[in-house]
Amino acid sequence: MADQRTATETDVIELLLAQHGMIRDLFDEVEQAPAGQRGEAFTRLVRLLAVHETAEEEIVHPYARRKIDGGDGIVDDRLAEEKQAKQLLQRMDQAGPDAPDFLENLLALRAAVEAHARSEERYEFAELRARTSQAERRALGAGLKAAEAMAPTHPHPGTESATKNLLMGTPIAMMDRARDVIRQAMGKRA
């Protein structure tokens, strides 16, 4: 069957904005779930955040550095935000949703992730939209989807660059996916 998507559905900015919406929805789902049922929603949130940030680091940020006036500073600020959020997310992922400080950390993580998303949308995405063609954004969208397919499923602070993601991303993603399968087979939270 032929691909019926419109240009806006493959536009990298539209894809990222849609993911930001999904992330907000997953935060709601985790927050509202009864304590004993948070695990599945939290696992989906962890995976989406890990995949989303890795794809941005590999595809969007390097392009923004080249295309946006002052792009290095804009991207460096976003990477610093991402690293802080990844560190908290990694601690939460390791401790699990039954940790006594889980909800407190979830609220802090949500605040950090939402502030980061607003900054991306305002400073990086708006500038990219203004300085790129629809064809460029569609090509970036295809690249983003490819990067997401090979992205790690858990946070790995310290890999916030395209080079580190390309060097370490595939082995880390393979290890993450193997760990997810093993945990699922053993009946544990991924």
pLDDT in the model for residue 158: 53
Give pLDDT, residue 36: 84
pLDDT: which is higher, 185 or 72: 72
Residue 48, CA distances (Å) to 11, 27, 116, 133, 156 in order: 19, 11, 15, 27, 13
pTM: 0.76
Q: Mean pLDDT across the stretch 144-162?
A: 65
Amino acid sitting at position 66: R
Is residue 159 within 8 A of residue 57, CB to CB? The reply is yes
Q: 7-185: which CATH topology?
A: Four Helix Bundle (Hemerythrin (Met), subunit A) (1.20.120)
Query: Over 50: is that where the pLDDT of 9 sits?
Result: yes
Query: How many CA atoms lie within 13 Å of 173's alpha carbon, on the beta-carbon side?
Result: 17
| Least confident residue range of 5-9, 62-66, 125-129 | 5-9
**Residue listed under structure tokens 């991303």:** 169
- 124 pLDDT higher than 80: yes
